[in-house]
Amino acid sequence: MPNPLNRPLKKIRSCPKPVTPLQEAYLGQREKNQRQIGRSAARADPSELTVSNSTPTDEDLLHNRSEEFENNDFNFDFHPRFEHEDLPETDGYDEEQDEEIEGYSELDEDEEILSGLARADYDAKRLKQEIRWAHQCKCMTPIFLRCRQATSNWASKANWDSDWKTPCTCPSYRRRVCWVDMVDLHTRQKAQVLFCDCQSDPVRLVEMGYIGATPVHPKTAFSIRLLKHFQVVWKYCAQRI
């Protein structure tokens, strides 16, 4: 049987969904930056973006450069192409927030690893539960067939509420009384049930005409008549339940 713990972890998606406030802040800031870039490109001067059809020669470039440096009013700190007065200032800028956003990828990798470990733990518990149910079904089958024959498939009103437990000689310290919610067609009540270590709890409930909700120490049990009713409704009705 393959071991579910050996399965590879889920592949990381290229655009994972934000699951933490830090990730949502990072994605929100990235979208805001993209909108600002789009607005600045739309407000740019078209005359500066046009490309001349004539290619300047090397002599023209040298002549323009010499005239530019000969001008005493030339300002090295100013150039109209590097002005960004139209760009809105970023509100609430915080250097600590930038440092936290830089660790976004590391947090995302840690969360992927933790989710993979949690999924492997869940698969292991589910497999263990299936193994327990398979064992209990083998133990419950002969008792179920015997009780079904004694109660005419739980259709005899005189016998369907009977307890078909076989007497045992186990000492008192091996017996225990537990409260179990018994759900039937018309009633639901909490009853005290006597269990013994010589048989499992689900087998003991079958002798009373009930199926336990869990394979180990069930706290809720459903009557076989109720389960038969739902099975017949599901089988013969046009609309599924």
Residue pair 203/193 in contact (Cβ under 8 Å)? The answer is no
Mean pLDDT computed over 200-229? 92
The predicted pLDDT at position 133 comes to 92
Give residue limits of the domains in the chain.
Answer: 154-236
Which residue did the predictor score with more confidence, 56 or 223?
223
Lowest mean pLDDT among 106-110, 189-193, 233-237: 106-110
Mean pLDDT computed over 103-111? 64
Question: pTM higher than 0.75, yes or no?
Answer: no
Q: How far apart are CA 28 and CA 22, in angstroms?
A: 10
Q: How far apart are CA 32 and CA 142, in angstroms?
A: 69
Q: How confident is the model at residue 8 (pLDDT cuts 50, 70, 90)?
A: low
Q: Is pLDDT of 206 > 90?
A: yes
Average pLDDT over the chain, rounded to an integer:
76
